[in-house]
Structure formats: C-alpha cells, structure tokens
Structure 1
Amino acid sequence: MLLDVFLSFMAGVLGANAFPHFVKGITKESYPCIFGNSAVPNFVAGWAGFVATAVLIYFADVPEHALVSFAAGAAGALLIGLFHAKIGAFGKSLTNDVLNQTEEGRCQPG
C-alpha cells in the first residue's frame, strides 16, 4: 500500500507540473523549462509529464486503494502547485515581479 501511495503522490506532482508546460507549449507561449523556454520544449515536457503520470497511475494499484490513492495524488498536485505559486520554478515569484512592474509603471493591471 505504501508503494501505491508513493506512486499516486508522484503522479499528482508530475501531472500538475506537466499541465502548465503543456498549455504554454500548445499556445506558443514562453515558460521556464529545463529544456528551453520556448513553446516546443515546453510542449514536449508537458507531454512527457502526462505520459509519466499515466505510467505511475498504471503501476499504482489505484482500484485497490482508491481513496488513499486519490488523496495522495491530490496532495502531490497541491504541493507542486503551492511550490510554483510561492517559490517558482527558478526561485523567483512571478507575483512579486508583476507587482514591481506595476509600481514602476511598466505594467498596468486589468
């Protein structure tokens, strides 16, 4: 059961992390990625993340431990989301950058 929980947790982390890369890739927008910040590397990273997520879910015995597996996957998605929202992929917060640009007059909200 512990292996199923771990695999489900990692599936949540990878799936939630893959989502923004996939979306930025198919919308041809730049986004920080270890393979390059342009659309194609982000699309490939998102796609690979989704494939890895599916493989992890396949090997986790989700039907046998449905509630625990769901909770572990949800916790993984929550933690990677909080990490990106607070720290960011490369250690800087986008929110602070946007606020600084607004104060300097370079970016107007809304």
Structure 2
Amino acid sequence: MWHTVLLSLLAGVVGGNALPHFLRGLTRRRYPNLTGNGPVPNLIAGWSGLVLAGVIGAFAGPASHPAWSFGAIAVGVLLIGLFHAGPGAFGRREPGATS
C-alpha cells in the first residue's frame, strides 16, 4: 500500500507542476522554465510532465487502493499548488507586477 501512496503523491506533484507550464504554453505566455521561458518550451515541458504523471500514476497501482491513491494525488497537487501560490521556484513577485 505504501508504494501506491508514495507514487500517487509523486504523480500529483509532477502533474500539478506540469499544469501551469502547459497552460502558459497554450495561452502563448512566458513562464519561467528550465528549457526556456517561451510558450513552446513551456507547452512541451507541461505536456511531458502530464504524460510522466500519468505513467507514474499507472505504476502506482491505483486499482489495489483507489481511495488512498486518489487522496495522495489530491494532496500532491495541493502541495505543489501551495508552493506555486506561495514563494514558487523563482521567489515571490512584487505587488503589481504583471506576468
């Protein structure tokens, strides 16, 4: 059961982190990214992260413990969301700064 919970938590974190990159790429907006801040690198990084989250989630074995798996994914997404809403990977933005 613990491998299911840990892999599901990791899948939630990876998927939650990939989502802002994917959405910024779709909306053609710049966003900090290791491979470049433009829309295309963000779209590719976001898509890759979503695919990776799906693969990790599949290896987690959610059928054996579906409630624990869903809960761990939800906590992982919440944790990475709080990180992005708080300090984020690149520090807190100044008030009134546009993105």
TM-score (norm 2): 0.92
Q: Distance in 2 between matches of 1:38 and 1:98?
A: 23
- Which structure 2 residue ranges, 5 or more long, are not aligned? none
Q: Which amino acid aligns with 1:55?
A: V
- Which structure 1 residue ranges, 5 or more long, are not aligned? 102-106
Give matches, 1:85-104, under 5 Å.
Answer: 85-90=85-90, 92-94=91-93, 97-99=94-96
TM-score (norm 1): 0.84
Shift of 1:60: 1.0
Percent identity, aligned pairs only? 48
Q: State the structure with more CA Rg.
A: 1
How many residues are aligned here? 98
Moved over 3 A (4+): none
CA displacement 1:17-63 (0-9 Å, x = unmatched):
11110010111100011111001110010000011011011111101
Q: Which amino acid aligns with 2:11?
A: A
Shift of 1:98: 2.7
CA displacement 1:55-103 (0-9 Å, x = unmatched):
011111101101111111111111101111111121x113xx134x5xx
Give matches, 1:1-110, under 5 Å.
Answer: 1-90=1-90, 92-94=91-93, 97-99=94-96
SS in structure 2 opposite 1:98? coil
SS in structure 1 opposite 2:95? helix
CA RMSD of aligned residues (A): 1.3
